[in-house]
């Protein structure tokens, strides 16, 4: 490892990356440096970022990466690594709210792409991929998020429309979204009674309340109430009562992307702690020369390296058409644990300075938990993996 | 009008450069390399000339190692039409670069060459001027504005006292300054399209020009570390220090 310990030197070389991947990384990096980095703290404190950022991001390819060309996406010669590079480089900001808010379509759109009718795809996807419209995913309810199969929001068919009643909560970009991809119960109990409906937020009966939270400030999070909302049957995503497939459609990319983010956040922690440990002197020498502190860096880098290699391997398998459910679940646990460890150790190294608002490590520390809970919590991921192992 | 834009592969401007312990140069191992920022501005300007209908074709050329293809591809992704790599692993000084570029200009029948005013690695600020002299073409260096007026080129130059606007006959040489434009992003679709654009590779030796270095590097050292400043108590102390320590008054 040469160069100064930091975000760049803690990235393992991957055999799966081509010059075109690296060129893409460079574009995202420049975009982040120019359009995002100077404003990150201000946006986070303000609790929002400009909506126009979606369009700018779409122009460079950040929104369309990985989606079909005929729907306005970029898919020719594109693989999961392009999407992961986007997640990784956006995470260099150390602002999870930015990634969550800017890339919400990454969970809202795939069910439509995977299951939706041609008409529905053409109606929704192009305007989302151009950054004009925002789409959110509504699965979690006040009564629970992990136990998806028991969700309660109900859609009752009445002639040419559905009537939707119920409540969703913790919905990222719920306040700003134009479209909601909503998991609803159309049939009996359990997973076999669930459908996905596309609900426009301007339909009568949709009401939204913003939620305040521990981190991810610049992305809005909402509770959304559906009170007799009439939704035309054309808005059904896929086949009635087969909506669970839509939830599955998100799994691979969401877990890979969150893992790529978590590792990147860990690398940010190492970078900021390393700069500090070199400059800060205590007891007559730089912090970095105290053995207790030096070893913290070795521990952090060791975990980041192991996790990066695991991430690379899982991504390569997904690229080759596999769906390594067990490993993707464990990868997410591994990656968020690594982020947790590095946030803790970096914060210790930074001392009081790291506790002050405006520091990337301070924010990452506050945003560890949402990474370990959202998109499949640690406990659920571990249990899913164990089940795959036949236990 | 065909425009030639030379692009150089240099250490990325964000990298903290480290001198090798044997003082023979700077450490390049695993260091991030990028297109010279002034060249990015040159590429952008050439593409704008094409978009406004002034230029017909934009050719990006790099003199350097095999990997300099990455920088040419970036120029192609920004919008250049085709690329040319003149391959050499040796260090080529501005004079050698200018000689090679002259050969390319003549072979390609270019009417305008837009170069960065300098490369951020050796900061020579010579290549454009040397190329102009060798071709016998007029030059507009340190450009902050370029526009075609009739069959001439109007170039606003950044000079010490302010701005100077000159008119050049074509063919001509322009070198770019920072304020000329803000280069566009190479978008993902354009990166993918650039993979299919033509990129010729030639050996430097094929041009039959003498590019042997004229300079010998004796030693490369770190610049002296800046010492921490001191706070003075009052004006008298300031004057005393300026007189006796700094020796400036
Ligand atoms: C900032 C933020 C943004 C979010 N964005 C979205 C969004 O856009 N869309 C969306 O649909 N959801 C979103 N969520 C919700 C998220 O997906 C859920 O929080 C998550 O699925 C967990 O659900 P829950 O909070 O209801 O916890 P619960 O399901 O009630 O679980 C509580 C705890 O118990 C554990 N647990 C549950 N069941 C078991 C079991 N069987 N065995 C052992 N342990 C168990 C869980 O791991 C967890 O630790 C978001 C959440 C947050 C915090």
pTM: 0.92
DSSP characters for A318-387?
A: HHTT---HHHHHHHHHHHHHHHHHHHHHHHHHHGGGGGSTT-HHHHHHHTHHHHHHTTS-HHHHHHHHHH
CA distance A176 to A101: 10
Asked whether A370 lines ligand 1 (CB < 6 A), one says: yes
ipTM of the complex: 0.90
Contacts of A88 (CB under 8 A, 6+ apart): A260, A261, A263, A264
Q: In ligand 1, which atom is closest to the CA atom of A138? A: 11
Domains of chain A, start order? 19-129 (1.10.540.10), 135-241 (2.40.110.10), 245-388 (1.20.140.10)
**Residue B113: which of B189, B42, B165, B184 has the closest Cα?**
B42
Q: Do residue B187 and residue A31 have CB atoms under 8 angstroms apart?
A: no
Question: What pLDDT was estimated at residue A1?
Answer: 45
Q: Is the pLDDT of residue A53 over 90?
A: yes
Which pLDDT band, with edges at 50, 70 and 90, does B248 fall under?
confident
Span A105-125, average pLDDT: 97
Asked whether A377 lines ligand 1 (CB < 6 A), one says: yes
Torsion of the alpha carbons at B64, B120, B33 and A23, rounded to the nearest 10: -100
Question: What pLDDT was estimated at residue B247?
Answer: 85
Asked whether A140 lines ligand 1 (CB < 6 A), one says: yes
Q: How far is CA B154 from the centre of its chain?
A: 21
Question: What pLDDT was estimated at residue B29?
Answer: 83
Which pLDDT band, with edges at 50, 70 and 90, does A183 fall under?
very high
Per-residue pLDDT tens digits for A224-253: 999 999 999 999 999 999 998 888 878 889
Per-residue pLDDT tens digits for A155-169: 999 999 999 999 999
Q: Is the pLDDT of residue A216 over 90?
A: yes
Asked whether A99 lines ligand 1 (CB < 6 A), one says: no
Site to probe by mutation for ligand 1, drawn from A99, A104, A146, A196 as the one with most ligand atoms within 8 Å of Cβ, is A146
Question: What pLDDT was estimated at residue B249?
Answer: 82
Question: What pLDDT was estimated at residue A3?
Answer: 66
Which pLDDT band, with edges at 50, 70 and 90, does A115 fall under?
very high
Residues in chain A: 391
Per-residue pLDDT tens digits for B140-162: 999 999 999 999 999 999 999 99
Let me know: does A110 contact A253? Beta carbons within 8 Å.
yes
Per-residue pLDDT tens digits for B222-232: 988 888 788 88
Which pLDDT band, with edges at 50, 70 and 90, does B94 fall under?
very high
Q: Please tell me which residue, A256 or B230, carries the higher pLDDT value.
A: A256
DSSP 8-state symbol, A141? B
How far does the centroid of ligand 1 lie from the alpha carbon of residue A254, in Å?
A: 15
Q: Is the pLDDT of residue B14 over 90?
A: no
Per-residue pLDDT tens digits for A288-338: 999 999 999 999 999 999 999 999 999 999 999 999 999 999 999 999 999
Render the burial of B161-197: b for 16+ CB within 10 Å, e for the rest: eeeeeeebeebbbbbbbeebbebbbbbbbbbbebbeb
What element of type H or E holds B183? Answer: none
Q: Is the pLDDT of residue B11 over 80?
A: yes
Beta-sheet pairing, B112-116 with B172-176: parallel
Q: In ligand 1, which atom is closest to the CA atom of A108? A: 8
Question: What pLDDT was estimated at residue A4?
Answer: 81
Which two three-digit tokens encode residue B137?
A: 């073409």
How far does the centroid of ligand 1 lie from the alpha carbon of residue A170, in Å?
A: 9
In whole numbers, what is the pLDDT of chain A averaged over residues?
A: 96
Question: What pLDDT was estimated at residue A2?
Answer: 52
The neighbour count for residue A337, using CB atoms within 10 Å, is: 18
Question: What pLDDT was estimated at residue B57?
Answer: 98
């Amino acid at each position: 490892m040469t160069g100064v310990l930091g975000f760049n030197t803690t990235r393992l070389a991957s055999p799966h990356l081509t010059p075109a991947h690296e060129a893409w990384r460079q574009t995202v990096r420049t975009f982040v440096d120019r359009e995002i980095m100077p404003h990150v703290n201000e946006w986070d404190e303000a609790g929002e970022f400009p909506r126009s950022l979606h369009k700018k991001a779409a122009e460079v390819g950040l929104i369309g990466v990985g989606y079909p060309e005929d729907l306005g996406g970029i898919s020719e010669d594109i693989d999961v690594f392009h999407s992961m590079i986007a997640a990784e480089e956006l995470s260099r900001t150390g602002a999870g709210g930015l990634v969550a808010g800017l890339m919400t379509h990454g969970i809202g759109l795939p069910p439509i792409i995977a299951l939706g009718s041609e008409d529905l795809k053409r109606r929704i996807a192009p305007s989302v991929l151009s950054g004009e419209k925002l789409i959110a995913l509504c699965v979690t309810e006040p009564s629970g998020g992990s136990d998806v199969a028991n969700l309660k929001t109900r859609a009752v068919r009445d002639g040419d429309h559905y009537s939707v009643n119920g409540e969703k909560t913790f919905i990222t970009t719920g306040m700003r979204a134009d479209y909601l991809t909503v998991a609803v119960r159309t049939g009996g109990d359990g997973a076999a009674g669930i459908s996905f409906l596309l609900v426009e937020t301007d339909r009568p009966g949709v009401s939204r309340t913003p939620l305040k939270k521990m981190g991810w400030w610049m992305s809005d999070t909402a509770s959304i109430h559906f009170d007799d909302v009439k939704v035309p049957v054309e808005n059904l995503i896929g086949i009635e009562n087969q909506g669970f497939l839509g939830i599955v459609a998100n799994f691979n990319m969401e877990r890979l992307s969150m893992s790529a983010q978590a590792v990147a956040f860990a690398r940010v922690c190492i970078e900021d702690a390393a700069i500090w440990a070199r400059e800060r002197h205590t007891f007559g020498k730089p912090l970095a020369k105290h053995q207790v502190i030096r070893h913290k860096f070795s521990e952090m880098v060791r975990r980041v390296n192991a996790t990066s290699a695991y991430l690379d391997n899982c991504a390569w398998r997904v690229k080759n058409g596999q769906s390594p459910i067990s490993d993707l679940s464990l990868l997410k646990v591994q990656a968020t644990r690594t982020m947790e460890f590095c946030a803790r150790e970096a914060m210790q190294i930074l001392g009081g300075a790291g506790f002050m608002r405006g520091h990337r490590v301070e924010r990452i520390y506050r945003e560890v938990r949402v990474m370990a809970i959202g998109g499949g919590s640690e406990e659920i991921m571990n249990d899913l993996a164990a089940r795959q192992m036949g236990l | 009008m065909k425009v030639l834009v030379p692009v150089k592969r240099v250490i990325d401007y964000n990298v903290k450069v480290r001198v090798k312990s044997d003082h023979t140069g700077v450490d390049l191992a695993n260091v991030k390399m990028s297109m010279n920022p002034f060249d990015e501005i040159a590429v952008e300007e050439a593409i704008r000339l094409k978009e406004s209908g002034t230029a017909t074709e934009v050719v990006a050329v790099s003199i350097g190692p095999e990997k300099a293809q990455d920088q040419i591809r970036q120029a192609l992704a920004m919008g250049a039409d085709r690329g040319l790599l003149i391959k050499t692993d040796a260090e080529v000084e501005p004079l050698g670069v200018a000689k090679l570029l002259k050969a390319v200009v003549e072979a390609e029948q270019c009417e305008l060459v837009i170069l960065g005013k300098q490369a951020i690695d050796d900061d020579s600020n010579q290549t454009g001027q040397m190329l102009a002299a060798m071709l016998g073409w007029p030059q507009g260096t340190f450009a902050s504005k370029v526009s075609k007026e009739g069959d001439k080129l109007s170039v606003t130059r950044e000079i010490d006292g302010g701005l100077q606007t000159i008119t050049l006959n074509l063919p001509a040489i322009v070198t770019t300054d920072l304020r000329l434009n803000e280069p566009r992003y190479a978008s993902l679709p354009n990166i993918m399209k650039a993979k299919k654009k033509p990129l010729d590779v030639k050996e430097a030796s094929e041009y039959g020009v003498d590019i042997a270095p004229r300079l010998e590097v004796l030693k490369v050292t770190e610049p002296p570390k800046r010492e921490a400043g001191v706070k003075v108590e009052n004006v008298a102390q300031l004057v005393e220090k300026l007189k006796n320590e700094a020796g400036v008054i």
